[in-house]
Structure 1
């Protein structure tokens, strides 16, 4: 990713995709904006009301999310003078991250019986099942069986 997008900030850990993602997304406000975008929020005022974030901070985070290609700015769908922020394909790729954060929060951030929102299928209204990852041959991927392998630019898996 170019310095123009990252604002000439050095990467926290240049070879780590997790660190680069955190460097790009920045903070809780960016993640909450992305969450709200998945929930259909598109306008500055809607984001501001939902999040209760200061307008200058919201402007900065929206500008960054547009610069890194997570959101795009479009004319308002109703033809008004407003503009709307919508997820790009790269933004939609963050769906698993948002679902993972949500599911971790459901398991660990609420007391038993404490009310919270749940993610449901838009057609059936059934709760979305827990995310799981499997190997190409169908075996579940478990944290204790996974490891990070550093790649160099000549490794075909690096592309």
Structure 2
């Protein structure tokens, strides 16, 4: 299988982001890390991904500073993968993908998981972009501005 072209030098932030977390395994690893999974064997068991693919994705996420490797918190000789602040900043992305999937990919009444606030038990409010005045933005209200270096 041909290796995909790197987009690390692309001028588009979406392209660069997808270069790192755009394949399903990387994003599912990040999702699982938010759910408290931190050991290689637990990621492997939960995702059902081949060990070589998991190793490759974990290495890339560590190399790019999304995850860090630490000694296991239980004092064993294992190591664990923990989200860095950079990785934690992916939380709104994971929530937005989850909510989009809930809204568009399940039939009415079909069972699925739901992200809820721990304190209230209520579903997390929909992620929506807002302008500086607090109004919800629609795609027609935005444009991409190219930033050039002088």
Instruction: Please give the TM-score of this superposition, normalised by the length of structure 1.
Output: 0.87
Name the SS of the counterpart of 1:113 in structure 2.
coil
> In 1, Cα distance between the equivalents of 2:145 and 2:97?
24
Name the SS of the counterpart of 2:97 in structure 1.
helix
1:37 pairs, out of 12, 33, 39, with 33
Residue-pair matches, total: 146
Q: Does 1:118 align with 2:110?
A: no
Q: Give yes or no for contact 1:35–1:98 (8 Å, CA) kept in 2.
A: yes
1:127 pairs, out of 100, 123, 138, with 123
Offset of 1:27 from its aligned partner? Answer: 0.8
Q: Does 1:55 align with 2:40?
A: no
RMSD, matched Cα? 1.4
Q: Using a 3 Å threshold, how does the CA distance of structure 1 residues 95 and 52 change in structure 2: closer, same or farther?
A: same
List runs of 5+ in structure 1 lacking aligned partners. Answer: 1-8, 155-159
> In 2, Cα distance between the equivalents of 1:26 and 1:63?
15
Q: Give yes or no for contact 1:36–1:47 (8 Å, CA) kept in 2.
A: yes
Instruction: Please give the TM-score of this superposition, normalised by the length of structure 2.
Output: 0.92
List runs of 5+ in structure 2 lacking aligned partners. Answer: none
